[in-house]
Structure 1
């Protein structure tokens, strides 16, 4: 698989590499639960990954009229039409420098239905946008979404999506919300159970619920060797626009 970077290369900063989440949240990062600080606090300089394994207790979708749209999303590992309960789940977070020198974190989620489905994203820092990271969706990074980050009073992480832009087009034009929708995520650490919990809902102002899931996972932090991160978690194409 060839990874194509579409734009002139950008030299990495000579400054000490920081987690994109620590950079975005600033002092609020220290308000996260210690386990979330560990999970979101590493960078490409640390040589580790975070691999989560668990179950999604419920996965649901909206109207049956959305099924063709959701099926189309499976071609680029963005959306899927399946629903279910107690579905085995993994999430792979690797930090690396992309083809433009940007600090990047993978979010490769795999849902083990009869036919496994993936929901891929790569996140980068969003310079000049405090409290925000830029999320490129799917295997080819066609869509770029601004994500606003926050911390709950109990140390959970909340993320909500902002504008969706077509990164594959010159000027990265924004899409109207009625075409895309809004994603809301809440992740926290359940101390009693000793595991992470997550709840995600993607909604659209016209049709309501598009996709939602909630469940739990535990995390391991394996070392990343000299070979670097696995190629299958990296996008096929990268864009600087967004």
Structure 2
């Protein structure tokens, strides 16, 4: 089975740096999980009015409600088959902030209907975002979000641009330092920067049969709609 990012990118996937190709090939066929550990140089927020919204999202592990510098960081990418038979990969980020850990959870699938990676955010997959990954000339990976939707029971609505955020993720591999570098920003088209983080981490690949899907990685609720 082809990885969800290769499906979304097609031949462009081969233009990525070899280390990025391996990391984003994690899937059921690879038989591996990827665990990244490192330090985020900073987590930042936009203007003060965004803080209540970040705090609200944090109740479901969406975004991070606190700022900081030199923050120990872990990301767990574990593939599994969800309740609807789809290959799914976790993107569970843990930030060890002063005062306690904070998580930013996502689970990703490939959507044939939308021909993109579908990013379900949080513990209950209430928010879904289209992700469009592309390879940059230097072999780095650029991911931009598209349409966002809120789903709960019969409700399935597009999130208006006025209150939504455009995410941009840039991930590269630093050959000299032997680590991945990542920069994430979320911006509202009217109100400007909302949230972001940047830093570096090293990746370890572990057999899926020994790492498994530990308790707490899988969402509490899974959404069928793609």
Q: CA RMSD in A?
A: 1.3
Which SS does the other structure have where 2:207 is aligned? coil
Q: Which residue is 2:102 aligned to?
A: 117
User: Mean Cα displacement is larger for which, 118-127 or 228-237?
Assistant: 228-237
Structure 1 residue 171 displacement after superposition: 5.9
* Contact 1:18-1:42 within 8 A present in 2 as well: no
SS at match of 2:222: strand
**Structure 2 residue runs without a partner (length 5+):** none
User: Partner of 1:38: helix, strand, or coil?
Assistant: helix
Q: What's the counterpart of residue 69 of structure 1? A: 53
- The equivalent residue for 1:141 is 125
CA contact (8 A) 1:53 1:219 kept: yes
The whole-number CA distance in structure 2 between the counterparts of 1:27 and 1:215 is: 28
- Equivalent position of 1:5 in the other structure: none
Under a length normalisation based on structure 2, what TM-score does the superposition of the two structures give?
A: 0.95
Match of 1:178 among 159, 162, 176: 162
Structure 1 residue runs of 5 or longer lacking an equivalent are: 1-16
Shift of 1:42: 2.4
Deviation at 1:231, TM superposition (A): 2.6
Structure 1: 4+ residue segments shifted above 3 A? none
Give, in angstroms, the shift of residue 64 of structure 1: 1.1
1:59 positional shift: 1.1
8 Å contact 1:58–1:213 — kept in the other structure?
yes
Contact 1:77 1:120 in 2 (8 A): yes
- In 1: Cα distance, 2:6 partner to 2:81 partner: 16
Question: In terms of mean alpha carbon deviation, does 175-184 or 138-147 score higher?
Answer: 175-184
Residue of structure 2 in register with 1:10 after alignment: none
Is 2:155 the partner of 1:168?
no
State the 1:80 CA deviation. Answer: 2.3
Take 1:155 and 1:110, find their aligned partners in 2: how far apart are those partners? 26
Alignment of 1:1-242 (within 5 A): 17-114=1-98, 115-130=100-115, 132-170=116-154, 172-225=156-209, 228-242=212-226
Distance 2:12 2:114 in 1: 15
> By how many angstroms is 1:169 displaced?
4.3
Contact 2:41-2:70 within 8 A present in 1 as well: yes
Is the Cα contact below 8 Å between 2:33 and 2:211 reproduced in 1?
no
**Structure-1 separation of matches of 2:57 and 2:64:** 6
Alignment partners' CA distance in 2, 1:79 and 1:188: 22
